Chains A and B, each alone.
Chain A
Amino acid sequence: MLIVLRKPASSPEQIDQVVFYEKPFLKFERLLETYLAFAPRGFRSFALSMPAWIKDKLFQKSVLTKALSNALGKTIDWQSRLLFSQHHLSHAASAFYPSPFERAAVLTLDGVGEWTTSSLAVGQGRRLKILKEIHFPHSLGLLYSAFTYYTGFKVNSGEYKVMGLAPYGKPRYADLITEHLVDVADDGSFQLDMRYFDYATGLTMTTKHFHQLFGGPPRPPEAEISQREMDLAASVQKVTEDIVLKLARSIRSQTGEKNLCLAGGVALNCVANGLLARENLFDNIWVQPAAGDAGGALGAALAVWHLHLDGQRPKLALSDRMQGSYLGPAFSDEDASTALNTCGGIFTRYSESELLTHVTTALSAGKAIGWMQGRMEFGPRALGNRP
C-alpha cells in the first residue's frame, strides 16, 4: 500500500476499502472442527498453533486496523473500510478479472483456504459466482506438498523443485498413488485417504502408512537425491496432471464455457498448465501469474471493486490489467545512488553500450550479476526486471 501511495497526488484518504484475502473466523472454524473431529489425536499441533490464533490471528481485524492507523494515519476510520474476502473467491477473482475474457470458467486449485481446497466458478462481465467446491482435508495442493515433504523439500516453497525433478524420473508410483492415496471420480473431483496423511492434525505431512507404502522414510533435507525421489516426483506430477485434465474436461462439459482461467498454488505448476493448453479442451486459457497466495491480495481487491462496489471492467481488448505482471516498485538512479551511498557502495552511471560491455565481460569471467530495471515482477515469475 505504501508503494501504491508513492504515486504523485495520492493520499491515504483516497483509499475507499482495504481488503484481506481470507476470512480468519472461517479458517479458525475449520481448525477447531478438525481438531475436535480428530481429538485427542492432534493435541500437540493444537497446542502449538492455538497461541498464535489467540494472540493475533483471531483478532486480525483490530491488528490490521492498528497497523493501518500507524502506517497511514490515525484520523481515518480504517475499521469501517476493512473487508475480508474468502480465500478461493480471492483466487478466482485474481484469475478472472485481469483475464481478457468477457466470460470464462474459473478453476482454483490450492493447498487450503478456509475450508475450500479447490473451486469451480463462472465469471461473466463483472459477475463471478462459485459453483462447486472441494473441502479440506481433500486437497490436490496438499497431496503435492506431501510428496514435496516426502522427497525432502520444504513444504509451500519446494513444490517447484518436485516439478523440476519430475522429468528426470519415471512415474513408477503413479498407480500406487491412485490405488491408495487418492480416489478420483469421473468428473475429476477427488478424495484422499487420510490414513496416509498427517497434515490435518499433525506436525508433518505424511504418516507411517505412507512411508510403508512407498518403502521408506522421507528423504532428510539436503541428503543426496536418488532416482527414487525423481520417480516419486514424476509420479505425483503425473497424477496431478491427470486430475487437472479430468477436472478441466468435466468443467468444459458442465459449464459449456470456452475460456478457462486458473489460479491457486497448483496453477503455478506450469508443466500441468502446458499439458492442459496442448490438450485444447478450451479455446483459451489464462493463468494468473501470481497464482499463489500473494495473488490472493490482488484478487481480493478486484473482488471488492467489482462485486462489492459494482465497479465496471475496462474494455477487455484494450487493456492488460496485469500490466505484464510488472506491478512492483521501481527505483530511479537517484534512489539507487542514495541507497548505495548509505551502505558504502559506489554508484557509477554508464551508457547502455558501456553497461552491456561491463556485464558481458563480467559474465564471461564467471561473475554473478544482479540486474534491476523498471518495476519489479509480482508473483513468482522472473521476467527480466530483477534477475
Chain B
Amino acid sequence: MAFLKELLAFLRARKKLWLAPIILIMVALGGLMILAEGSVLAPFIYTLF
C-alpha cells in the first residue's frame, strides 16, 4: 500500500499519471509470470537498465 501511495505521488508530481495504468497492469502480470517462473535474469548493462 505504501508503495502504491509513493508511486502515485511520484507520478502526480511528474505530471505523468497516464503511466499509472500501464505500470499497474505490468506489475500485476509480471508478478504472476515471475511467480510461475521463479527467477529473473540479471540486467545486461546495469547503468542502462
Within the assembled complex, what's the spacing in Å between the Cα atoms of A293 and B46? 11
A29 touching B47, Cβ below 8 Å: no
Using A52-B49, A62-B2, A141-B47 as known contacts, list a sample of 6 further A-B pairs with CB atoms less than 8 Å apart, ordered by residue number in A.
Answer: A32-B23, A51-B30, A56-B40, A58-B27, A61-B3, A62-B3
The answer to whether A29 touches B14, judged by C-beta atoms less than 8 angstroms apart, is yes
Q: Which of B19, B41, B48 contacts A51 (CB 8 A)?
A: B41
A55 within 8 A of B: yes
Q: Does A105 contact B (CB under 8 A)?
A: no
Interface class of chain A by DSSP: helix
Closest to B30 in A: A54
Q: Name A54's contact: one of B34, B41, B45, B49 (CB within 8 Å).
A: B34
Query: Is A207 in the interface zone, CB < 8 Å from B?
Result: no
Contact assessment for A51 and B45 in the assembled complex, using a CB-CB cutoff below 8 Å: no
A residues in contact with B22, CB < 8 Å? 32, 36
Q: Which residues of B contact A29 (CB under 8 A)?
A: 14, 16, 19
Chain B: how many interface residues by the 8 Å CB criterion? 27
Tell me the complex Cα distance, A62–B2, Å: 9
A112 on the B face (CB < 8 A): yes
Interface size on A, residues (CB 8 A): 34
- A199's partner among B23, B37, B41, B45 (CB-CB below 8 A) is B45
Q: Are B19 and A55 in contact (CB under 8 A)?
A: no
Partner of A155, one of B2, B41, B45: B45
Asked if A112 and B34 make an inter-chain contact with CB atoms under 8 angstroms apart, the answer reads: no
The residues of A that contact B48 with a CB separation of less than 8 Å are 111-112, 142, 199
Contact between B47 and A156 (Cβ–Cβ < 8 Å)? yes
- In Å, the complex CA distance between A73 and B22 comes to 37
What's the nearest-Cβ distance from chain A to residue B7, in Å?
7
Quick one: closest A residue to B23, CB to CB?
A32
Expressed in whole angstroms, the Cα–Cα distance for A384 and B48 within the complex equals 33
CA distance A386 to B49 in the complex (A): 32
* A320–B3 CA distance with the chains assembled, in angstroms: 40
Q: Determine whether A59 belongs to the interface, using a CB cutoff of 8 Å to chain B.
A: yes
Q: Is the CB of A55 within 8 A of B10?
A: no
A52 touches B43 (CB 8 A): yes
Instruction: List chain B residues, Cβ under 8 A from A49.
Output: 43-44, 49
| Bound Cα distance from A96 to B19, whole angstroms | 35
State how many angstroms separate the Cβ of B28 from the closest Cβ of chain A: 9
CB distance A54 to B26 under 8 Å?
A: yes
Contact status A52-B42, CB under 8 Å: yes
Complex A-B: 30 CB contacts under 8 Å: A25-B6, A25-B7, A29-B14, A29-B16, A32-B23, A33-B19, A48-B41, A48-B44, A49-B44, A49-B49, A51-B30, A52-B40, A52-B41, A52-B42, A52-B49, A53-B30, A54-B27, A54-B31, A55-B30, A58-B3, A61-B3, A62-B2, A62-B3, A111-B48, A112-B47, A141-B47, A155-B45, A199-B48, A265-B47, A293-B47
Render A114-125 as a binary contact track against B, CB cut-off 8 A, 1 for contact. Answer: 000000000000
Contacts of B6 in A (CB 8 A): 25, 61
Q: Is A50's beta carbon under 8 Å from chain B?
A: yes
**B47 proximity list for chain A (CB < 8 A):** 110-112, 141, 156, 265, 293
